[in-house]
Structure 1
């Protein structure tokens, strides 16, 4: 605003001074035309302004006005007139050649003057013509350098004109007539002075402040001080002359007055200039401090740092002393120049490293600064955009995630301009509708593809939203595909209205729910099928909530318990439990809801239920849990196992008999080996006793006798142990399930099988898991399984003529409640038909000579223990049988 005010004031001063110069130049010409010598002189006794001189100043004033009005061609044409006058006058006075210009205009009136060179422009006019025409010409060039020269010429013209006016007023022309051509006339001097001021005001922006390309306050002061310094002394001397000449003051007081005014003017100028310089220096210092806080570095053309601002120190961490004289690239990333990305605005985005190792993203701009009389300099300005870049990266990442989410969920975004009907789709939105990209541009194309029934519904929804001015509305429609199929689409839209309440725009999303609709249809079909199955399944189904209230009672449940569904729905499930367990059932349910400990859910439980007639029904119960609509539901499947228990009881009796017969058969096969095995310890014990008798007869030491007797005792115990194992194995007794040591059970079974087999080359190795210590099983039945599998392995290896028979006994923990026992050999392996028929009754791995009872009994024994018996061939050759039994942790055995 202040700059605009200065421009307006400079323009007004320029126009005013130009018009004053024009008027002062026109007065003498008018005086010659009306024969008024006073208008030509303005001061009695002074030299007049000749007509040609008056015409020249009029042309100068007109050219300056044309310059101010930006009429460049007119200005150049007008200044040619005073320029020619000035050149002709110089040639005439210096070389005394050329035409007499005074003969061209008002020759008769001029000839009446007593002046020796009447009418011819003098030295004053020639000098001012040449200086001012050059200044006006330079003012039309609109350049800084031309403006500087123009300011110098105008200031010199102003000083010269002021001096001429002062000398005229002092009567210098009358004292010494030789001064006349140099001093000139008062109208001419004043006209040139005003034209000079007008020229300086018009090109104020190119004044003295621009002489050395500096816009400081000292140079703005110089622009005004220099013309004042040229004119003020002249004005003070003129005042002193008139005071003495008029007798107002004596010479001495006049001298003191002029000296005081000179001191006052000079002091005022100095005070004004110094004040402006101080203010400028303060503002420059503030600007320098502000500039120093930014990251700016100055370097020579080779890149060596000359100046390192405080902002650079804060940004990079390198001090000015450390940075000056080095290259910036050596500071920001020693040995590695950062990768750069150029921008169209001249900035370069750099990835740099600070002194403490932080990665910086910097926007750098380099400008070349030309300096007069010295080398050029590069100005680097850096802007830290690390946080902005991180924010932009985060935004791009967020947009990418949003795009991925939109793509992953099959969301299409649309923007419908209701007035024009144009629909803009997001990338991939049309493809998600099953259409080609760019094939759906407006509402008419869209509604042509929508199912008519759905289109009518959507139009009604839009009408309702418009009527109620709803912010948003949902919709669902089916759209036809090019292949004749149909897709189901769901979505919602945000509605925008104009001032009149008309719908003008909707912005929303579409989601392809075709697969969901198909799944729901299939789910409904499966649900109907499931209801049909549940109605016919032999197991009764009862659904209760978390308070035990019956919600559903199947038809089979009605047949099992004798209640109708209407009688029990809404009542507590305790009506189906025995009286002594009704209170416990409620506590069980409360405990599960409180602790989450599942003791019934997911497991089969054998319980007793009460029918409507009071009968006790043995049932097998399996409970499942589900949460529907925020409500916890429990579904119980109930099977009447009365018949199954009767069958199992008869089957257990038969199985016990069959197991006993199997053990007796095995005992018969081991009888021969047993006789041989017992013969050895009995013979050895007899020998030890005989030796002891001999030692007693020879009066040997008691220690030797005792040693022989101990050896005999050990052999007898060995024989007894063999007999005990066999008796336990073949004895008929009820099943006794308890905690048994895994390793003892395996080793005893191996000892039973290898009785009488020492003539064979058999090696038994054990790989027992140290964490599998106890199993919960019937020791004799598990040993029967082991004996059967070991005997099968020995017979298979013997039939294959395996020289070095190897048997591996292994145990391994499957889970905290199960241990797996494996028996492997290096025999021929299992036949191919074993894997299709091993579960068939009486299937045997020994061929047609065997009845296959042993393997079938073994499988039944393991299944009775809750495990599974499996056979497989090993990659390195041989067969392996594995079975699982329940495991007990040692810590559980310590419980009371």
Structure 2
């Protein structure tokens, strides 16, 4: 290849550089000393050979396209991969320049190469480190947010997305104030300026409990720890956030449980002592009655005795709440008891209220005082009647259930095992969160003056606790109420009872589909998500119907929607399911509810829809999922 004297002179002057001159077909005419050092071939070994065959060149695009670009534009530059004499890989930043002779046709290409292998290794190492860091940030349970000196969000982890409800792209570049309620929202920039000017720390380096603001406008308690670093001469602040909602709720429930225990001991002791007084009063009244002949005095005496009897009934209820009433527990078939008791309940409720009794399965033996259980169900029925002033439906359901370890760990004082479940569900006015919190306290009532003593639910609570059981209350304003009594079974293992999942580690059916879990109770959602992930499923989660709809739009892999029926935020489970099917006609839906039946509050489901009643075991969930997801 005749490159010309000028090219030869340039190559001589720049012999230490990595310069190759070749024709359009790749035949080498000039091979500099720099090429000998970089690639290992001597000049006489390289000249005359094809450059691509010699160096095993890997181009970022077709070589013909590169040659065309050199012809049209006079030059090209890009990154290519070469192999040296020993076969080692070399990343090269290559620049091609067209060399023309007297005419206009390109007769040669001057190629200058720079070894960037070290840079590529550094970039690959950096990318690997970034990927590793990202995987950690995506899986660590604590949310992480990075801001600059102006408070602008520069990084928002996956856990932060789940916690606050924002996607990273929605908050990137915005001030971190968007995640704060008032008054912190208005004060935050001042906090940063004060620190930058004075160096006085208020939160940096220390853990602190503050309030966060979610996308849907709800607030929640969180623990915030902030670290500081310098990046290119500017301060960067990294905040690690832990959601305290579940912890605060558990602490509140523990305080409530301790308060109920203390009130029970107090009221039980008072009732016991007061009963002794009533015994003396009633006994003396009886002895006086035998000595009285005046009919008018006998009338007054009879009123005093009736008042003493009423007092004895009240103290009996207080003793029940304080778990000091005498019980006579014996194996009792709760299903038969409820069935035989139904006629009395129906007369008590009146014609405006429909009574339904549902007994699932057979042999519902519980170790319980049958007469006290009847009193408890009657008290619940009377409360339900008062909540349905314009009529409605009361459902009493009896079934067998298992409380597994996951469920027991969510509630203080609850033990795992086999239980007989009695659910009393109404379609009445429901309760607010404040009323639910105090519903089992003695003398607490929402009824008018003279309309109730406030001892009905407290007696039920004390009776079940004294029997070794557990009480659960589900209620929402306008959505009815369900009181569930878990009574210890007198049979260790029932026929056809659910098998303990710990029997074999591989006993549960598994899957790999993506499931959207929608549950407003953080603890219940955490257990459901953990169970699904242990079963091999990929899980995305939401606390409200609104968050769930955003995920349905942004995560096309979702195969099944697992949602609670009653949720805050304006979108109930059945409404969410209808919208989900509109977006994804082939999506599967599994409902769950703490109510005794899915038709509570007028929410009717189709025959093809499936639901699980809380509490459900890991096995029940796993089997139901495969039934829905596997083709028939």
Instruction: Tell me if TM exceeds 0.5.
Output: no
Larger Cα Rg: Structure 1 or Structure 2? 1
Structure possessing the higher relative contact order (Cα contacts under 8 Å, 6 or more residues apart): 2
Question: Larger helix proportion, structure 1 or 2?
Answer: 1
TM-score by length of 1: 0.22
